[in-house]
Amino acid sequence: MITAAPSVPRLPASAREVLGDLRRAWDGVRVWQRDGAGGWVGVEGTDELPGDGAVDVPGVPLRLEIPGAPDDEARGAARFLGATLARVARHDDEMRSFSREIAERYEEITLLYSISEILGSIISLEEASRTILEEVAGILGASRASLWVHDGDRRRLYLAAVEGGEGQTHPIDVDDPCSITAAVFREGRAVILAPGEEYQRDDCPGGERQRGSFLSVPVSYTPPEGEARAVGVINLIGRGGADGFSAGDMKLLSAIASQIGAAVENNRLIEESLRQERLVRELELAHDLQLKLLPPLEQFADYAQVGGRCVPAESVGGDFYHLFRLPNGRLGVLIGDVSSHGFGAALIMALTISAVAIHASEGDAPSHVLHRTHRAVIDELENTEMYLTLFYCVIDPAAGTLAYSNAGHSHAFRITADGQPQRLDATDPPFGIVDRDTYGEETVAWTTGEDLLFLFTDGLSDALDAGEVEGERVLVDEAARLRADDPASIIERLFVRAGEATHVPPDDRTALVVRF
């Protein structure tokens, strides 16, 4: 006697329903299920061993028999019933497999949707990446997840975020032949290692080895126009259990990486924009500070008639001018032009103004002022490989003289009351060209209240786009023609004239007109 099994765990519910219908159509159908020892156990009231008329159900561990009918008819009916049950069982298996796949896809879609929400709601790439890595590590069962982001300027991969475990944190050179992460980034293809598997590149014998349960995929960004490019790498390490990462895991992680790629690129653009904004603010501040180094001309309104303007080609530049009230009713006038523009030239400019101010305030002769100023700035000029033209004069109305020293500044003129320009020639070469122990000095006549001192830099004459010689002539003739006007009006007209030219490379533009 055989004890009947209380249930049929291997027989799907749908198959049992079909079996019930067939048993009602074929009264007395007997069913056996294979037990763990290889024998047969009766199912649903069947308490006898299978007889000679029993047949096996294809693909299902069942045996059927229809007693009470001729042998051939019974076997045929049993085979028909078995084939029906087999088809139902296969269909049920397919449905379960399909349901599992749908569940897995649903989990992946949910994860991707969650990542989209994270990237859309968190501005910080580090914070968003850490949250995403936590989600990914949980879904794929990784003990450690890390995101590496590429720095194109340094050609390195930097750890942007990590979740769980210990591992490499120092930057990775993208050209390192022994780094798996660098190889994944360069080659743009994923690497999967099973538990216990080692990875070693042929071009790096004895290099980095990664023991299994390892998945690495490139993080790519595809711009609206152009080809996709790698911007980073995601690594998963140490999956629990005997199974490693699968091709499906790689596909899912690649989909996640594509979302992160857009976030990485957006973060780079935001950081670049912020850097540009900071740079613009710093340049604006530097521009304001440099212009504050120039003297307010209104403070000389009760002393002399002065007009001046300095327009840097960039936010800061190397052109400058200055004026000094000197003892005995004299006036010191300075103009300079550093050979370049930008921050380096601005530093030389500030240093020169400070040096001249110190020595001019002591009432030194122009030649002595230039000599001592040269000593103060020569090291900086040599280090920056720049040179400096500098003109400094002292106007003495009581003596009717203008004494000057000119270190290579060719655009210096005295314009007489009858409109005749007199060039105040260079007495010495520019600073930074030749080291000199002494500086020359010249003196010319000065008619108080009638003569004009006209100084400018080559940026203003070059702006006329007429050539160096012709540009200078146009400016001097214009200043001579307007000599009776207020110096500020003369400056305004000269800059308007220079501003009418087009297609001229930018350069610092400075001019100074003095009637004293």
pLDDT tens by residue, 126-157: 777 788 888 888 888 888 999 999 998 899 99
Query: Is the C-alpha dihedral spanning 234, 240, 244, 249 positive or negative?
Result: negative
The string over 57-87, giving b where at least 16 C-beta atoms fall within 10 Å of a residue's C-beta and e elsewhere, is: beebebbbbbeebeeeebbebbeebbebbbe
pLDDT at 15 over 80: no
Pick the closest to residue 320 from 275, 357, 282 (CA basis). Answer: 357
pLDDT at 429: 96
Residue 285 one-letter amino acid: L
CB neighbours of residue 399 within 10 Å: 15
pLDDT at 17 over 70: no
pLDDT at 160: 87
Bigger pLDDT: 366 or 99?
Answer: 366
How do residues 38-88 score in pLDDT, each as one tens digit?
Answer: 778 877 666 778 877 788 877 777 777 777 655 676 677 777 777 777 777
pLDDT at 159 over 70: yes
pLDDT at 97: 63
Confidence of residue 309 (pLDDT cuts 50, 70, 90): very high
Rounded Cα–Cα distance for residues 141 and 134 (Å): 10
3-state secondary structure of 417: coil
Pick the closest to residue 314 from 344, 275, 336, 334 (CA basis). Answer: 344
Confidence of residue 321 (pLDDT cuts 50, 70, 90): very high
- DSSP output for 40-74: EEEETT--S---TT-EEPTTSSEEEE-TTS-HHHH
CB 343 within 8 A of CB 286: yes
Bigger pLDDT: 56 or 118?
Answer: 56
pLDDT at 228: 83
pLDDT at 111: 60
280-307: average pLDDT: 85
Average pLDDT, the chain: 82
Tokens read off for 157: 């991969």
Tokens read off for 80: 């028909």
How do residues 429-462 score in pLDDT, each as one tens digit?
Answer: 999 988 888 999 999 999 999 999 999 999 999 8
φ, ψ for residue 78, nearest 5 deg: -65, -40
Confidence of residue 6 (pLDDT cuts 50, 70, 90): very low
28-36: average pLDDT: 75
% of the chain with per-residue pLDDT over 90: 39
How do residues 332-385 score in pLDDT, each as one tens digit?
Answer: 999 999 988 778 888 889 899 999 999 898 888 999 999 999 999 999 999 888
The CA-CA-CA angle for residues 452, 455, 461, to 5°, reads: 120
pLDDT at 9 over 60: no
Rounded Cα–Cα distance for residues 93 and 101 (Å): 12
Q: Where are the domains of the chain?
A: 13-97, 122-272, 294-515
pLDDT at 1 over 70: no
Query: Is the C-alpha dihedral spanning 314, 316, 320, 324 positive or negative?
Result: positive
Tokens read off for 301: 């309104």
CA-derived radius of gyration, the chain: 46
Bigger pLDDT: 258 or 495?
Answer: 495
CATH architecture of 122-272: 2-Layer Sandwich (3.30)
pLDDT at 503 over 60: no
The string over 244-269, giving b where at least 16 C-beta atoms fall within 10 Å of a residue's C-beta and e elsewhere, is: bbeeebbebbeebbbbbbbbbbebbe
Query: Is the C-alpha dihedral spanning 346, 351, 352, 357 positive or negative?
Result: positive
Map tokens 């061993």 to a residue. Answer: 49
- Specify the range with the lowest mean pLDDT, choosing from 52-56, 161-165, 220-224, 353-357: 52-56
CB 341 within 8 A of CB 313: yes
3-state secondary structure of 82: helix
pLDDT at 7: 42
Indicate the class that CATH gives domain 294-515: alpha beta
The string over 161-184, giving b where at least 16 C-beta atoms fall within 10 Å of a residue's C-beta and e elsewhere, is: bbbbeeeeeeebebebebbbbbbb
Question: Across the beta sheet with 305-311, what order do the strands follow?
Answer: 305-311, 509-515, 452-456, 412-415, 421-423
One-letter-per-residue 3-state SS of 133-161 = HHHHHHHHCEEEEEEEEEECCCCEEEEEE
Confidence of residue 164 (pLDDT cuts 50, 70, 90): confident
pLDDT at 476: 97
